[in-house]
Amino acid sequence: MVLKNNEYILDIVSVGYEGEGIAKIDGYPIFIEGAILGEKVKALMVKVKKNYAYGKLIEVIEASEERVEPKCRVYKRCGGCTVQHMSYKKQLDYKFERVKDCVSKIGGLDSLLVEYPIGMEKPERYRNKVQLPVGIVKGELSIGFYASRSHNIINLDTCLIQDEVADKVANITRNWMIKFNISAASIDGSFNKNGLIRHVMIRKGFTTNEVMVVLVSTKKDVPNLDRFIEEIKEKIDGIKSIILNVNKENTNVILGQECITLWGEDTITDYIDDFRFNISPLSFFQVNPVQTEKLYSKALEYAGLTGEEIVFDAYCGTGTITLFLSQKAKKVYGVEIIEPAIINARENARINNVDNVEFFVGKSEEIIPELIEKGIIPDVIVVDPPRKGCDIKLLDAIGKAKPKKVVYVSCDPSTLARDLKILEEKGYKTEKVQPVDMFPHTSHVETVVLMSRK
């Protein structure tokens, strides 16, 4: 029997979906964050449930050859990079096994369908966007990231997965707030309705080197904003846009709807392959442009387009995949429920002179059957749903539409595998499963799948 607050010597025999090591005592699983497959560890039991327990890693007694010293000084406290203690090769191995496990156990498919993940040559400093919470923690102004499973902000001066410009902007913001006594809208994790600054967001175009800084405040009137603007202009290379975003609500939503351009342009520009995108504070844009190009190229390859096909792009967002598909399709129809995203998508098509795409606002499970009723029959359907996977009504619509191919882009292997099983029952055969490591040092993995009509 495993007891809470007791320490145990354990062998790590498998890996959980979040990258944690799993040990077993008489078949009873114990999840231990920071432990690696094959290690022997000492762990303190911090949560004991009927069917599983969580242990806190106290000591690594026998270390894996794949264990590395994390480069980040706040790694153990920060909730961002959960697998930085693994070598990058080991991280890819873990993501490979995770996708295979989901595909076989949840999807009921052959794990041999899964290819080895496409990794990065340089898996650091890959993010082009960061949103840093600002708050008072134990009397000290902190700008950084939330600690794991909490709203406590860890003050940090550098983050190894963000672009270096984010470190500089965070430092400028911190010094400005201290110097001019600018209040924060969070105190020890609680909303401070009398405070001002909530977040600072930094976006960078990796191709253009254009930088946008967004200060998120509870009010329009922020004292000494001119000094902040001058500091950013003087010290940040490539600065093109400085914006104040107003968010008065006591909510976990970071950005409000009101954006005030304090200096420069309303947007910055970046490219994915040859396509240009104008990026506003509220725009969705993939945070790892290097891997995004690989992911979208694989989706285009799987679609196998010849120039004669009608393609539906469900959950199209701001139209990034739609534009990629347009290169080799006769016509692409993009569908997205969020209206501002569709406005962006139409603008993205316009600035890239793409005229064989059409966008619709609404639920894919409702719009796609309507298009089919009008006689628009898809040869290929591409889906890129949120983490919860596809709506069952959309999967039903795909089954009725009977496209020759379905290309499924997923950010969650579990819901992906569930949906693949449903589509298999609707007459589709899973041909290829390709994971892509969009988020090194984290447990997340993207996957693109090709399915063909049986």
| pLDDT, tens only, 100-113 | 999 999 999 999 99
CB 247 within 8 A of CB 255: yes
The pLDDT assigned to 302 comes to 97
CA end-to-end span of the chain, whole Å? 50
The pLDDT assigned to 84 comes to 94
Average pLDDT over residues 232-248: 97
Span 7-67: which CATH code? Answer: 2.40.50.140
Average pLDDT over residues 416-423: 98
Calculate the alpha carbon distances from 189 to 186, 200, 253 in Å: 6, 16, 15
The pLDDT assigned to 62 comes to 97
Give residue-wise pLDDT tens across range 359-392.
Answer: 999 999 899 999 998 999 999 999 999 999 999 9
Cβ atoms within 10 Å, residue 65: 9
The pLDDT assigned to 73 comes to 87
- Please tell me what DSSP assigns to residue 243: E
- Quick one: tokens of 315? 């959950």
Average pLDDT over residues 47-63: 95
The pLDDT assigned to 152 comes to 83
Q: Is the pLDDT of residue 193 over 90?
A: no
The pLDDT assigned to 332 comes to 97
Q: Is the pLDDT of residue 148 over 80?
A: no
Pick from 358, 414, 422: which is nearest to 391 by CA?
422
The pLDDT assigned to 347 comes to 94
The pLDDT assigned to 108 comes to 97
Provide the H-helix boundaries in 149-256: 164-179, 225-235
The pLDDT assigned to 150 comes to 78
Average pLDDT over residues 196-221: 97
CB-count burial class (<10 Å; 0-12, 13-18, 19+) for 219: middle
Here the contacts of 28-34 (C-beta below 8 Å, separation 24 or greater) are 28/2, 28/52, 28/53, 29/53, 30/2, 30/54, 30/55, 31/55, 32/56, 32/57, 33/57, 33/82, 34/76, 34/85
Q: Which CATH architecture has domain 129-270?
A: Beta Barrel (2.40)
The torsion of the CA quartet 303, 308, 314, 315, rounded to 10 degrees, works out to 80
| Rounded-to-integer distance, Cα 407 and Cα 300, Å | 9
For residue 6, the one-letter residue type is: N
- Please tell me what DSSP assigns to residue 152: P
Pick from 406, 407, 409, 395: which is nearest to 445 by CA?
409
The pLDDT assigned to 1 comes to 82
Provide the H-helix boundaries in 136-192: 164-179
Report the DSSP beta bridge partners of residue 95. none
Task: Kindly indicate the confidence band of residue 453, based on its pLDDT and cuts at 50, 70 and 90.
Answer: very high
Any idea where the domains of the chain sit in the sequence? 7-67, 93-121+288-453, 129-270
**Could you check whether 7-67 and 93-121+288-453 share the same CATH topology?**
no
The pLDDT assigned to 142 comes to 94
Please report the DSSP string for 42-57 in residue order.
Answer: EEEEEEE-SS-EEEEE
Question: What percent of the chain stands above pLDDT 90?
Answer: 87
Q: Which residues contact 14 (CB under 8 A, 6 or more apart)?
A: 21, 22, 37
Calculate the alpha carbon distances from 16 to 44, 76, 87 in Å: 18, 18, 17
Strand runs (DSSP E) across 138-288, as ranges?
140-146, 153-155, 186-187, 190-191, 197-204, 211-217, 239-246, 258-264, 268-272, 275-279
| Rounded-to-integer distance, Cα 143 and Cα 130, Å | 12
Report the DSSP beta bridge partners of residue 154. 145
Average pLDDT over residues 389-403: 93
Pick from 446, 444, 441: which is nearest to 85 by CA?
441
Q: Is the pLDDT of residue 151 over 90?
A: no
CB 114 within 8 A of CB 96: yes
Set 72, 316, 390, 411: catalytic member: 411
Active-site residue, 411 included: yes
Task: Kindly indicate the confidence band of residue 88, based on its pLDDT and cuts at 50, 70 and 90.
Answer: very high
Q: Is the pLDDT of residue 131 over 90?
A: yes
| Rounded-to-integer distance, Cα 313 and Cα 407, Å | 9
Report the DSSP beta bridge partners of residue 62. 40
Calculate the alpha carbon distances from 437 to 10, 20, 87, 105, 166 in Å: 30, 18, 14, 22, 22
Q: Is the dihedral of CA 358, 362, 364, 365 positive or negative?
A: negative
Give residue-wise pLDDT tens across range 339-360.
Answer: 988 998 999 999 999 999 999 9
The pLDDT assigned to 189 comes to 86
Q: Is the pLDDT of residue 149 over 80?
A: no
401 HSE (CA, 13 A, CB side) = 33
Give residue-wise pLDDT tens across range 292-341.
Answer: 999 999 999 999 999 999 999 999 988 999 999 999 999 999 999 989 88
- Quick one: tokens of 121? 């040559």
Task: Kindly indicate the confidence band of residue 28, based on its pLDDT and cuts at 50, 70 and 90.
Answer: very high
The pLDDT assigned to 340 comes to 85
The pLDDT assigned to 74 comes to 87
Between residues 369 and 418, which one has the greater pLDDT?
A: 418
| Rounded-to-integer distance, Cα 365 and Cα 372, Å | 11
Q: Is the pLDDT of residue 432 over 90?
A: yes
Q: Which CATH architecture has domain 93-121+288-453?
A: 3-Layer(aba) Sandwich (3.40)
Q: Is the pLDDT of residue 79 over 80?
A: no
